[in-house]
Amino acid sequence: MKTVVAFLLVTALLVPGVAGTAGEPVTLAYSQLGLLAHLPWQVALGQKYFEEQGLEPKGYNFESGAKSIAALIGGSADFAANALEHAIKAKVQGKDLVYIFSSTRLPGFGLAVASTQKGEIKGIADLKGKLVGVSGIGAASHVLLDYVLKKHGVDPGDVKVIAVGISTFPPALEGGKIVAGMAGEPFFSRMIARGTAFSMGNLSSLKETQAILGGEYVFSGAITRPDVIAKRPQVVQKVVTALVKASHFIETKTPEEIAGAVPADLVGDRAQFVEALRASREIYAPRGMVSGSGVETVMKSLESFGVFKEGKRIDAASTYDMKFVRQAVKDLKLP
């Protein structure tokens, strides 16, 4: 595994402008850092909150959550910006990972349908027999799609699911490779704004997420290994404190101010970024805290997806620990 992970780190994209020149080294593994689900990381990098904590961050941007988690499990990264479900899946496989900070309380995805299909696809049942895209087979977007289909009485086996990536989702939909799929932000909002797609479920909206999934859904955050916590607890605290400070910034600033705080290479078209952010403000977890009800929704979706053998769940509480978030809130004197 370590050889494979080392290769992944060599071939991954080193995120520009995030490595400092002094401080204690820390290696961060991202999965598609430009996703709005990772906004606290983006703000922490842009505002140099890690350096402020005495850290020297080096970040690698992977094309998928599975690869960033492989880097973490293999020891080539200290922390991963990834979904809680990866810690849960690792536990099922006998590997211990700990979710120590929550970026989001909602998925930050949406079920997008190509505008060319408006006359034919009017409801989720109409997806039967259609080519529907997800970022990767078995990925978080696939789990979400599967759960949404079942919640609406559609057998996922009746839908032709294919992997199209995250940043490559828009050209796949707009080019006719798929007719619908689970698109992450900011790509979902951009397609809706351009008129190339319409929404059949916006999981960046609290009201719609509650209606579609039955409640909040803990998604992305920070994950580490138990040995990192045991050997470098001060570093873990510093990473979490930087992220909690970034979360507070997101909670209290305007979309325009937030865009100005993010590294320019992650913003792209500023106007589009601001609009996507404005449409996604509800996804972020206040102060970086996990929602118990949101964890339960994740567990239900994974159970529905067949992650737990013979229907036996793991203890979800063993996969996350919010003590570092609570300490950060105290140290930062947040209200």
pLDDT-based confidence at 19, cuts 50/70/90?
very low
pLDDT digits (tens, 9 = 90+) for 262-307: 999 888 889 988 998 998 899 999 999 998 999 999 999 999 898 8
Whether residue 13 has pLDDT greater than 70: no
Asked if residue 248 has pLDDT above 50, the reply is: yes
What would the pLDDT profile of 176-224 be if each residue is shown by its tens digit? 999 999 998 889 988 998 999 999 999 999 999 999 998 999 999 999 9
What CATH number belongs to 2-106+218-331? 3.40.190.10
Q: Is residue 77 very low, low, confident or very high in pLDDT (cuts 50, 70, 90)?
A: very high
> Quick one: pLDDT band at residue 17, thresholds 50, 70, 90?
very low
- Output the CA torsion sign for 124, 129, 130, 131: positive
Residue 22, pLDDT above cutoff 80: no
- Could you report how far apart the first and last alpha carbons of the chain are, in Å? 44
Contact 72, 97 (CB under 8 A): yes
CA distance 303 to 203: 19
Q: Do 209 and 280 touch, CB atoms closer than 8 A? A: no
Percent of the chain at pLDDT > 90 equals 72
| Residue 2 pLDDT exceeds 80 | no
Residue 10, pLDDT score: 37
- Whether residue 312 has pLDDT greater than 70: yes
Residue 327 is inside which H or E element, if any? helix 323-331
We find that the CATH architecture of domain 109-202 is 3-Layer(aba) Sandwich (3.40)
Q: Residue 34: what pLDDT?
A: 84
Examine the pLDDT at 140 and tell me if it is beyond 90. Answer: no
Specify the pLDDT at position 136: 87
Q: Are 29 and 13 in contact (CB under 8 A)?
A: no
Task: Check whether 113 has a pLDDT greater than 70.
Answer: yes
Query: What is d(CA 142, CA 126) in angstroms, rounded to the nearest whole number?
Result: 18
**3: pLDDT strictly greater than 70:** no
Q: b/e map of 192-201 (b: 16 or more CB within 10 Å)? A: beeeebbbbb
Residue range(s) occupied by CATH 3.40.190.10 in the chain: 2-106+218-331, 109-202
Backbone φ and ψ for 102, nearest 5 degrees, come out as -110, 115
On average, the pLDDT of the chain sits at 89
Structure tokens at 222: 């920070």
User: According to the model, what pLDDT value does residue 6 have?
Assistant: 36
